[in-house]
Amino acid sequence: MRMFRDIKGIARTTTIAIIIVILIVAAVAVYYATLPPPKPPGPATITGKVTDAKTGLPVEGATVKVDGYATTTGPDGVYSLKVTFGKYTITVSRKGYEAKTASVDATEEKTYTANVPMTPLIGFGVKIAVVSDIGGRGDLSFNDMAFKGGDDAVRDFGVEMVELISKVEADYVPNLVTAAKDPKVQLIVGVGFLLSDALVEVARKYPHKDFAGIDTYSQWIVLDKYPKEYPLPNLMDIVYEEHKGSALVGALGALLAAYYGKPYIGGVFGIEIPVLWKFEIGYKWGCDWAINWTMKNRPELKVGIVATPRKERVLWTYTGTFSDITKGYEAAKPMYAKDAVAVYNIAGPLGLGINQAVAEIAKAKALKSGPPFWIGVDANQDWINPGFVIASMMKRVDYGVYYATKLVLEKKFRDVVKEGKGSMTLGIGTTWAGVPMEGISVSTLADLDEFIAMGVRAEELTGEKVLPMKPDEIRAAVKAMREAQPKWIWDAVAELEKKIRTGEVVVPLAFTKEVVDYWRGIFG
């Protein structure tokens, strides 16, 4: 009897389910019956001519895309596509031109015409040449940044970039000459101060070409050897306000030391030359500014670097080298032993030695993030040891190449050479030809993404592992490290940057022995 009741229950449930399905099917049928009939397929034809907006001449090789359809224009610039009925947006693109769009509402079986004039980019048909320092692409520093600037100019201006890789110093002059002999090359960029002499030699031989050097002192050579030709009108030294960037990271280091109660910040320098004096005094000045800021705005912080005598706050040493990584380690280790919160790398590859000293401490204490920290230089080095490189003082070499290209294309290059007496300085708040052109900053997460991408490309290029972990892990670690620091620290650094930009404060520029000795007398 119970089994019979169960069977009856199942039957009722099944009947209800069948009825529901029938109702759903009926509702769907009614819905579709009320829809308007679909438009019959074409064939409609969309055709037109792609022309150069300046010359009116046909543009060959333009890619024309209409929804899922695509074609390429021939020598006459004409395209033709058969489409079904509908509204379409036509997208036309070609290297050297701004992308354009047009709209067509194809409702009948006929031919629709959509002619598209394309505006050529300012650099279309122009070449720039970038002559690398020794090594070429994959160094994640000056060379890679210079080529990035060229890549950005290709994207924005439509120029073509010629890459000339120097394997030894003897390649500098031949590479510069090769570029100068190309009739389409209008700008030749030499990367690094070692090309200074070569740039002078070749620029004098090719006065109709424009030359730029990144971090070079070519015009000083002209002044010394050929004073009547100074400044050479077709030669530009692109230099940077490293003292201002160093002031920002000096302030950052001191603020961290104040927060964590650490007595010192450190600096490891390469060879003692005037350009490094700019870094040294700027860094010490930034530390001093930050201590004064802390005393005024965070009076509760009374220990650590705030209590350290003024001349002892920055531990610093010149190693006499830009290549011996061991010297970087040996210089940084005692600074961390004295409890420095961060050490600034002003010695190129020696930063890897500084990193080794930090890594030893991190391993011994099982740390996943600093302190201790170190501070990168020139390029964004935050990716090298995520969580322990608090920031980097960035010299935007890519901006130098980009701005030089822009000035050449706008016929303003030689005006700026004259205005700057042979050089163009990029820094904080700098302008040239009436346009803001900066090149110094403290690294950001956006910068980090660019350098991670460079690292990925370097791995593809060399076949060797470059990045210490996966890109998303690097970004997460750096982001977490930055967010772990009090917001007021970053706000104070931003305040200093604003004051430098507006001229409210002036960072001392130490470029002579007399000036550097004066400031060492104050800051130690």
Q: Are 146 and 398 in contact (CB under 8 A)?
A: yes
pLDDT tens digit string along 6-37? 444 444 555 554 555 455 544 444 444 444 45
pLDDT for 301 beyond 80? yes
Mean pLDDT value of segment 94-113: 91
Bridge partner list, 210: 187
Q: How confident is the model at residue 463 (pLDDT cuts 50, 70, 90)?
A: confident
Map residue 258 onto helix, strand or coil. Answer: helix
| C-alpha 276 chain-centroid distance | 23
- Torsion-angle region of 67 (φ positive above 0: left; ψ -120 to 50: alpha; else: beta): left
Q: How confident is the model at residue 348 (pLDDT cuts 50, 70, 90)?
A: confident
pLDDT for 5 beyond 60? no
pLDDT tens digit string along 397-448? 999 999 999 999 999 999 999 999 999 999 999 999 999 999 999 999 988 9
Q: What is the pLDDT of residue 518?
A: 97
Mean pLDDT value of segment 263-292: 96
Identify the helix (H) or strand (E) that includes residue 69: strand 69-72
Q: Which residues contact 351 (CB under 8 A, 6 or more apart)?
A: 328, 345, 374, 376, 377, 381, 384
Residue 40 preceded by cis peptide, ω within 30: no
pTM of the model: 0.81
Q: Are 289 and 505 in contact (CB under 8 A)?
A: yes
Q: How confident is the model at residue 376 (pLDDT cuts 50, 70, 90)?
A: very high
Assigned token pair, 318: 């010149």
Q: What is the pLDDT of residue 38?
A: 44
Burial-class residue 91 by CB neighbours within 10 Å (0-12, 13-18, 19+): middle
Q: Are 77 and 63 in contact (CB under 8 A)?
A: no
pLDDT tens digit string along 315-344? 999 999 888 899 999 999 999 999 999 999
Burial-class residue 3 by CB neighbours within 10 Å (0-12, 13-18, 19+): exposed
Cα-Cα-Cα-Cα dihedral of 289, 290, 294, 295, to 10°? -30
Q: What is the secondary structure of 291-305 as a DSSP string?
A: HHHHHHH-TT--SGG
Q: What is the pLDDT of residue 323?
A: 82
Q: Are 524 and 312 in contact (CB under 8 A)?
A: yes
Q: How confident is the model at residue 274 (pLDDT cuts 50, 70, 90)?
A: confident
Q: What is the end-to-end Cα distance of the chain in Å, rounded?
A: 103
Burial-class residue 168 by CB neighbours within 10 Å (0-12, 13-18, 19+): exposed
pLDDT for 97 beyond 60? yes
Q: What is the pLDDT of residue 524?
A: 95
* 3 state SS for 330-356: HHHHHHHHCCEEEEEEECHHHHHHHHH
pLDDT tens digit string along 197-208? 999 999 999 999
By percentage, how much of the chain surpasses pLDDT 90?
Answer: 76
Q: What is the pLDDT of residue 4?
A: 37
Q: What is the pLDDT of residue 18?
A: 53
Mean pLDDT value of segment 278-290: 98
Q: What is the pLDDT of residue 453?
A: 86
By percentage, how much of the chain surpasses pLDDT 70?
Answer: 92
pLDDT tens digit string along 377-407? 988 999 999 999 999 999 999 999 999 999 9
Identify the helix (H) or strand (E) that includes residue 62: none
The CA distance from 118 to 59, in Å, is: 8
pLDDT for 41 beyond 80? no
Residue 37 preceded by cis peptide, ω within 30: no
HSE (side-chain half, CA atoms, 13 Å) at 349: 9
Averaged pLDDT of the chain: 90
Tokens 């449930």 map to which residue? 13
Q: What is the pLDDT of residue 403?
A: 98
Q: What is the pLDDT of residue 240?
A: 97
Domain annotation for the chain: domains and CATH numbers? 44-118 (2.60.40.1120), 127-240+400-431 (3.40.50.2300), 245-395+444-523 (3.40.50.2300)
Assigned token pair, 425: 């300085």
Burial 11-47 (b: 16+ CB within 10 A, else e): eeeeeeeeeeeeeeeeeeeeeeeeeeeeeeebebebe
Tokens 């660019």 map to which residue? 450
- Torsion-angle region of 397 (φ positive above 0: left; ψ -120 to 50: alpha; else: beta): alpha
The CA distance from 315 to 339, in Å, is: 11
Kindly report the backbone phi and psi dihedral angles of residue 67, in degrees, each rounded to the nearest multiple of 5, phi listed first. Answer: 55, -120
